[in-house]
Amino acid sequence: MLNIESVNLMQLTIDLAKKNLAKNKIPVAAIIVDGQTNEIIAKATNDNSPIGHAELKAIKKALKKLNTNRLDGCEMYVNLEPCPMCAVAISKVHLSKIYFGAEDEKGGGVINGPKIFSLPNYRSPEIISHCLAEQSSELLKKFFLNKRKTKEAI
């Protein structure tokens, strides 16, 4: 169960994703916080690059800000289940916990797809799934519905 602080941080993540939706970009956002204080260390949104995922961008910002190569004790909030690429990065930097909203049945790498954290040699953070999942799903549905209507490539 989420505490009020976690709900607020997840809502902040969704609000950040909404800004991307308003720009006609994939509405995915990630926030990294200090696990003890909940101080925001980094936040990012997806861009139009195939590797410009919010999780990777937030990790890069957090590593730079903390001048380190590991994020022990840090937690990530993301409104969509991380893909395999992002799950590997999360494992490699030792994030302690991830909270995510909507499942990604086609492209996920945590509870769907290859389930990266269950593979040998990959460190598994604590996983809190389906956090404000309905709000996250609605954002993504709106985005892809609009793309289908305009037949615009992603």
What is the CATH number for 38?
3.40.140.10
Average of pLDDT values for 120-139?
97
Please say if the pLDDT value at position 154 is more than 90: no
Residue 42 lies in a domain: yes
Give the residue from 2, 68, 57 showing the smallest Cα distance to 32.
57
138 is catalytic: no
Residues 29-68 pLDDT 10s:
999 999 999 999 999 999 989 999 999 999 999 999 999 9
Residue 51 lies in a domain: yes
Whole-number Å distance between alpha carbons of 139 and 45: 14
Residue 148 lies in a domain: no
Spot the catalytic one: 5, 39, 55, 81: 55
User: Rg of the Cα trace of the chain?
Assistant: 15
pLDDT score recorded for residue 153: 65
pTM: 0.94
Average of pLDDT values for 112-128?
97
Residue 83 lies in a domain: yes
Residue 130 lies in a domain: no
Quick check: helix, strand or coil at residue 43? strand
